């Protein structure tokens, strides 16, 4: 990023004060050394993690309130879920810090490998240590991509649950308009136990009929639903960023290996 700032200053210098061509050539070399795939991946990673961590943290808190209010009468029934929410919120803090630092490291590695591949800075060349470091980043990023793929799939569960809940409420409202008897649609329920949110012995563990429809009309429900969708989108963006990191680092490492075999050290 510092290189980009320097280039912007140099470009302004060229345009405003007609600086000598040396500054212009420096800017061109600097721009050529910017690892644009790694830079885009870093921006996507930060945006995705901001969505996932911020919205996911608040969505978990809202979920705990919904389950405690409507799906469980006994405190012991949702104590496991409350503990999970608490610990996963701490995990979110750690994820945000880790990916912030890891994104900086991958961006710095992208600047190093791009400069080494293009041989931009005179005597600067790829070394055995540099290639080993690039390979390490590739392996770690592969592992993170597989782990985050599981996180991405896990994030889809609450979205699926709330989507089904909204559709069920919609069906109840249609039946309520067409049938005068409440008993005609009181059998339509949403069971939180089927999705692993509560143990099977939780009471009532489910809501039915017009009670369920009234829950879907609350602002808490829609806020929670929107937050989970945003967290799901953030997980998808982060996964895309990891794939871009993999493509960029693998390509740069392959070129570094090729230069090493050609005797360029």
Q: Kindly state the average pLDDT of the residues 200-208.
A: 73
Structure tokens at 93: 């803090």
Range of the domain at 68: 37-115+128-262
Asked if residue 203 lies in contact with residue 72, where contact means CB atoms within 8 angstroms, the answer is yes
Model pTM greater than 0.85?
A: no
Q: Tell me if 201 is assigned to some domain.
A: yes
Structural domain includes residue 7: no
Q: How many domains does the chain have?
A: 1
Residue 193 within a domain: yes
Of the candidate ranges 11-25, 47-61, 166-180, the one whose mean pLDDT is the lowest: 11-25
> Per-residue pLDDT tens for 256-265?
776 655 554 4
Q: Is 26 among the domain residues?
A: no
* Mean per-residue pLDDT over the chain, rounded: 75
Distance from C-alpha of 231 to C-alpha of 251, rounded to nearest angstrom: 30
31 in any annotated domain = no
The mean-pLDDT minimum among 55-59, 98-102, 122-126, 185-189 falls in 122-126
Q: Determine, yes or no, domain membership for 21.
A: no
Q: CA 109, 110, 116, 120 torsion: positive or negative?
A: negative
- Asked whether residue 139 is domain-assigned, the answer is yes
* Distance between CA atoms of residues 8 and 50, nearest Å: 28
Residue 16 lies in a domain: no
Find the DSSP H helices in 119-218: 128-178, 209-216
The residue count of the chain comes to 265
Give the tens place of pLDDT for each residue, 179-195.
665 555 667 777 777 77
- Pair 14, 27: CB distance under 8 Å: yes
């Amino acid at each position: 990023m510092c290189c980009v700032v320097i280039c912007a200053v140099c470009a302004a210098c060229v345009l405003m004060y007609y600086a000598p061509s040396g500054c212009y050539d420096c800017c061109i070399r600097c721009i050529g050394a910017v690892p644009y795939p790694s830079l885009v991946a870093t921006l996507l990673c930060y945006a995705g993690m901001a969505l996932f961590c911020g919205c996911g943290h608040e969505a978990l808190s809202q979920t705990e309130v919904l389950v405690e209010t409507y799906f469980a009468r006994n405190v012991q029934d949702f104590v496991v879920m409350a503990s999970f929410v608490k610990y996963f919120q701490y995990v979110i803090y750690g994820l945000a810090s880790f990916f912030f630092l890891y994104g900086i490291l991958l961006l710095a590695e992208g600047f190093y490998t791009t400069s080494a591949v293009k041989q931009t800075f005179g005597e600067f060349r790829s070394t055995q240590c540099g290639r080993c470091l690039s390979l390490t980043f590739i392996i770690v990023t592969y592992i993170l991509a597989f782990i985050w793929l599981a996180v991405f799939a896990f994030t889809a569960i609450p979205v699926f649950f709330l989507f089904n809940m909204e559709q069920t409420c919609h069906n109840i409202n249609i039946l309520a308009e067409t049938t005068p008897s409440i008993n005609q649609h009181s059998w339509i329920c949403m069971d939180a136990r089927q999705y692993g949110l509560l143990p099977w012995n939780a009471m009532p563990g489910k809501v039915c009929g017009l009670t369920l429809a009234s829950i879907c009309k609350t602002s808490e429900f829609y806020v929670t639903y929107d937050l989970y969708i945003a967290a799901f989108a953030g997980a998808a963006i982060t996964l895309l960023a990891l794939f871009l990191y993999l493509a960029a680092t693998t390509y740069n490492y392959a070129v570094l290996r090729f230069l090493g075999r050609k005797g360029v050290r």
